[in-house]
Amino acid sequence: LYAHDPQRIQYDGADAHFLGLQTLHGENRPVATQDAQVRRIGSVVSACILVDRSRLPAGEPFDESFFIYFEDHDFAVRVRVLGWEVLAVPGAHCFHGPGTEGLSIRALGRYSSMRVLCLIRNRWQFILKVYSLRTLVLLLPVLVLYEMAQVVVVLRKGWTREWRRAAWWILTHRREILAKRSLVQGSRKVCDRDLLNGGAIPFREEVATNRIERGGRRLLGEMTGLYWRCVSPIL
């Protein structure tokens, strides 16, 4: 819940969108509309989670190379790869303050350079680590389409420096990423068909600020959604 508005939900769990993104549940809904039922979800936000470490493999839960953004998504989906379930417990409330200074969109009203860098880089790293080879091959066309759209946004917003830094990091850490990928795939007990979801692309409103950008977002969502409906049954 928002600390400044405790009758409104910031999020109530999440899912793993097939484009490598995190789809929040119950975003900005009144608490009065919340379903009190405990339910299975596809991902978590690290602002409010409870973990039984005895059930996890040895080592730290989070991959520290993510630094910030997607570290919780990566963790949750890796847990599900192992066959464990992730639950949302609506009766457990956490009050979220104003966000991280210098990074929070709520505070800045815009995307910071570090936020842009980490969101691009960490999404790539998450996909390369967690998605099976079959999933990567089947989703390649739609992933390429999304990257093309992302490049357009990067150029329009002046984020080319952040994009280059993200690409360079992935390139220079490729061996490390491949080693982590080997561990994830070697422990896999659940296929990606049971891990990933479709639905609308989870965009922040701050990304699409005019009619052209909002129209492009709708078109991209329709194209990627159609592709997912066609390919998801054979993942």
Number of Cβ within 10 Å of residue 181's Cβ equals: 17
Using one digit for the tens of pLDDT, what is the confidence trace for 173-225? 999 999 999 999 999 999 999 999 999 888 766 666 677 777 888 899 999 99
**What are the residue ranges of helices labelled H in 67-195?**
71-81, 105-108, 113-130, 133-157, 160-172, 174-186
- In whole angstroms, how far apart are CA 59 and each of 64, 113, 201? 11, 31, 33
Which stretch of 12-21, 28-37, 158-167, 212-221 has the lowest confidence by average pLDDT?
Answer: 212-221
User: Residue 212's pLDDT is what?
Assistant: 78
How many residues are listed for the chain in this entry? 235
Q: In sequence order, what are the beta bridge partners of 41?
A: 86
User: Residue 108's pLDDT is what?
Assistant: 61
Which stretch of 38-52, 75-89, 193-207, 215-229 has the lowest confidence by average pLDDT?
Answer: 193-207
- Identify which has the larger pLDDT, 173 or 35: 173
Q: Which residues have CB under 8 Å from 212's CB, separation 6+?
A: none
pLDDT level of residue 48 (50, 70, 90 thresholds): confident
- Identify which has the larger pLDDT, 110 or 186: 186
User: Residue 99's pLDDT is what?
Assistant: 72
